[in-house]
Chain A
Amino acid sequence: MFKEGIGESSEFSGFHPWVNLIYYVLAIGITMFSLSPWFLIATFVLSWTYSLLLRGKSVVKLNLIFTFWTLVLMALINVLFVHNGKTVFFYVRGNGITLEALIYGVSAAVMLISVIIWFTSFNVIMSSDKLIFIFGKAAPVLGLTLSMIFRYVPLLKNRFSEIRMGQACLGRGSEQGYLAKLRQFGKEVSILISWSLESSIESADSMEARGYGLRGRTSFHLYKITRRDAVLLILMLALGAIVVTGTILGKTSVWFYPVYVVHEFDLMTGVTLAAYVLLLSLPILIDIYGEVKWKRSSLAM
């Protein structure tokens, strides 16, 4: 199960789109505003865990490359351009390379990486259907537009490969030379555009024929809120409230310059961190529970 990743069959994915969305708003939102080392470690580790759980080993390489280069680049840039901080390692052309600048660079990089990796699992959980549903709630036209985009991407791809094939029928498409290739590509794109514009007239007719443009359009969906959605939502919001309170009280504050200072680790900091970790790991727990349940039921058969 972990080789391929759970994918879209994940238990958490089966929750209502609003629940999914609010989870990611909380997870990514809080990540973006916290530079406390405890919080960074929590969000970094859990974002990686969930990403791997959902997408399996195929995503490891991509995530690693991204993590490594972001870390190196951001730490390097910060160190080279910011010379604040008390602990100087050495001087380059009269500018101090400091420990504090390095720590800031690494912290910011970890934050950015975590946000991006949260998005790799977001892509699996928030399928196009859910996005369309959520945007459709905001404005039916927006939802429909998204839906049409998702419809036209594969259509245009197919059409383009058909055009390539058609050109190959004429013995084109195997030109030598950069310019000739570019010219041929331009021709293929131009065919695609005129063909698609031509057929979009028919699509517009078909939309109008089915009453598009009448007043009071609604947006249909297949989702319904159940009790477990409500329970999870309340739990998430409660945990989120604790984390936000802790942050406002300054329990997660960090100072980088001139010296790196972390707020002392007292009880409230512990509670805030625990709430944060629990909040972030909710979908992981739910998904592992879901997998175990399936394993059991298939063993029982």
Chain B
Amino acid sequence: METIQFSNVNFAYPMADRKALDNVSLTVNKSEFIVICGKSGCGKTTLLKHMKKNLIPYGRFEGSVTYEGDEISELDDRRNAAEIGFVQQNPDNQIVTDKVWHELAFGLESLGLSNRAIKSRVAEMASYFDIQSWFRKDVSQLSGGQKQLLNLASIMAMQPKLLVLDEPTSQLDPIAASEFLRTIYKINRDLGTTIILSEHRLEEAFTMADRVCVMDQGRVIAYDNPRTIGKVLAGAGPEDRHPMFYGLPSITKIFQAAGGEGTSPLTIREGRLWIDTRMKYAGVQPAPREAIWQNASRGGEVKEKVKNPAIHIENAWFRYDKNSGDILRGLSLDVPKGTLFCILGGNGVGKSTTLKAINGIVKLQRGKIRTDGKLAMLPQNPQALFTEISVEDELMEALHFDKRSDEEKVHDVVEMLNLMEISHLRKSHPYDLSGGEQQRLALGKVLLLDPDVILLDEATKGLDPFFKITLAGILKKLTEEGKTLFMVSHDIEFCAEFADVCAMFFDGDIVSVGTPGEFFPGNNFYTTAANRMAREYFPEAITWEEVARCVADSM
């Protein structure tokens, strides 16, 4: 029997003029792994929430949603709690108790199990998820990835048959995200739990999925195998492409755009083999590449000096505590004016500390930092800025200390609403905005202070691929106006496509700097999926469009 069955479901939120779900019919079989993708606000979350009784949103509903043949809205409460697990986006908000072990036991306590029974279940889960070493810790000491893993383990302790996950990795860094996805995959393979996952990071999720469901404006526009779904969205040519095509993983996009036949490769390995066969067929030789021992002296070239840098950091040393290790170790950096300068690097290497140092929130022990012009920063969580009850008031609040007349202020606010493309939301409450819209509102608020240099902390975190393109457009406009943007990011694909200069941060210092064209081909691991796939033949091609063009041209 089908685990989940949507039959002709229509749903609209109260007061909304558009349907959030438009005639959705969908079947999920037992033990399947389903990935749902689509733009923010396309109805993914609404769809997922209909699969859990206590989360079903209020509004006009038609049709039927069943779990193993029973209507979800009439499901027994105990069965709803135990058999259907639901993981949300924000790791922090889902944790309720103060200790890891207590959180693991939470669901089992609700079900009224005895102490002995809970103990054996919790022990089992802690071992399966490798939680033993932090089993007795306070939850406040965990990293974001550990918190989300704990949320998952706490649900798995109830042994659900269906696991629904709503963008569980959007708040995590790439390494924690990929570990989380692998854990879900393991659960699916080991325990046969049915998985329904909504995701933006499709590169990895596609390799795990049995079927992919693409949604747009409340409708399911494609529901197919990940190897063939690209074909459905690609249409007949570049003009015929569905907008959702741009949200697919690079490999699929390259395959379709370069005119691949048959089923699409999913992993980098398959992609490389596919290019290999194509190139052999076309008679193209791999690009000559120096072996690593031949260019031992490379990477040491001295860069020419940046004239009039917007941010100048010289030999900066910093540590938080007398007894802790150095976070910044002789960092020197010049950021040219009017560029989007991206800093890439792993967790805890000192990227955020650099931002704080530039902003003057922490004081250096040695070295100096100079910024040219007014400075402002966009924090990681846009909520930290919101005080007002509507978007336009929020922007007005930024000008609170401005001495100009009200008309001039209103004029500026209206202009900013247009620049950020959020004019249609001017009366909404900031908390009712989606993640991407909140990010743009926060950016607008920061920009109203008229800074020359803007620091961005993980500005693309949790955004879908489409919002990223919009954001990139806005950032482009800003750099053209002569503003300098300094961004710290985990998002390699975004930096590769849109940055002017990229730098790699490691162990308290910058280890390499360059334009994306110089920066990425030199890296082996720390580069885009497209580049990793095609580097043997086209080492200079970084974005999926470049690779697709190169492959198509050489045919």
Contact = CB atoms under 8 A, between A and B. Distances in A.
Interface of A: 128-129, 132, 140, 144, 147-148, 150-151, 154-155, 158, 162-163, 165-171, 187, 190-191, 194-195, 198-200, 202-203, 205-222
* Top 9 A-B pairs, shortest CB-CB distance: A166-B384, A211-B81, A211-B110, A169-B377, A210-B107, A216-B112, A154-B140, A150-B98, A202-B93
Nearest to B445: A170
A129 B99 contact: yes
Most buried by A among B54, B122, B455: B54
B67 to A, nearest CB: 14
A194 B96 contact: no
Contacts of A129: 99
A206 B90 CA distance: 11
Contact of B94 (A191, A202, A222): A202
Most buried by B among A129, A158, A170, A203: A170
Interface of B: 52, 54-55, 77-78, 81-82, 85-86, 88, 90, 92-99, 101-102, 105-115, 118-119, 122, 138-140, 151, 154-155, 158, 356, 359, 361, 376-379, 381, 383-387, 398, 431, 445-446, 449, 455
B418 to A, nearest CB: 21
A190 B387 contact: yes
B449 A171 contact: yes
A155 B119 CA distance: 27
Given A170-B449, A214-B81, A220-B122, 7 more contacts: A147-B99, A154-B138, A203-B93, A210-B81, A212-B106, A214-B111, A220-B109
Say what secondary structure dominates the interface of chain B: helix
B88 A170 contact: no
Contact of B86 (A147, A167, A191, A209): A209
A150 B114 CA distance: 24
Contacts of B455: 169
A221 B118 CA distance: 9
A218 B115 CA distance: 8
Contact of A165 (B88, B101, B361): B361
A191 B88 contact: no
Contacts of A155: 92, 140
A212 B359 contact: no
B445 to A, nearest CB: 7
A202 B166 CA distance: 12
Contacts of B383: 191, 195, 198
B109 A171 contact: no
Contacts of A207: 96, 106
B452 to A, nearest CB: 13
A190 B115 CA distance: 41
28 contacts: A147-B96, A147-B98, A151-B97, A154-B138, A155-B92, A155-B140, A162-B384, A163-B384, A167-B384, A169-B377, A171-B376, A171-B449, A194-B431, A195-B383, A202-B93, A202-B94, A203-B93, A205-B54, A211-B111, A211-B158, A212-B110, A214-B111, A217-B109, A217-B110, A217-B112, A218-B115, A218-B118, A222-B101
A170 B398 contact: yes
B94 A203 contact: yes
Contacts of A222: 101, 119
Nearest to B155: A210
Contacts of A151: 95-98, 139-140
Contacts of A190: 387
Given A144-B97, A151-B140, A205-B55, A199 B110 contact: no
B54 A209 contact: yes
Contacts of A171: 376, 449
B429 to A, nearest CB: 10
Nearest to B457: A169
A172 to B, nearest CB: 9
Contacts of B138: 154
B440 to A, nearest CB: 16
Given A205-B55, A210-B110, A211-B81, A168 B140 contact: no
A198 B93 CA distance: 10
B112 A147 contact: no
Contacts of A140: 109
B445 A168 contact: no
B233 to A, nearest CB: 32
Given A147-B102, A206-B96, A214-B111, A168 B54 contact: no
B154 A210 contact: yes
Nearest to A158: B140
Nearest to B360: A168
Nearest to A175: B401
Contacts of B112: 214-218
Nearest to A197: B431
A218 B139 contact: no
A106 B191 CA distance: 69
Nearest to B110: A211
Nearest to A212: B110
A214 B80 CA distance: 11
A211 B113 CA distance: 12
Nearest to A215: B112
Nearest to A152: B98
A211 B78 contact: yes
Contacts of B386: 191, 194-195
A209 B166 CA distance: 14
A132 B151 CA distance: 21
Nearest to A160: B384
A194 B385 CA distance: 11
A213 B81 CA distance: 10
A167 B445 CA distance: 11
B430 to A, nearest CB: 9
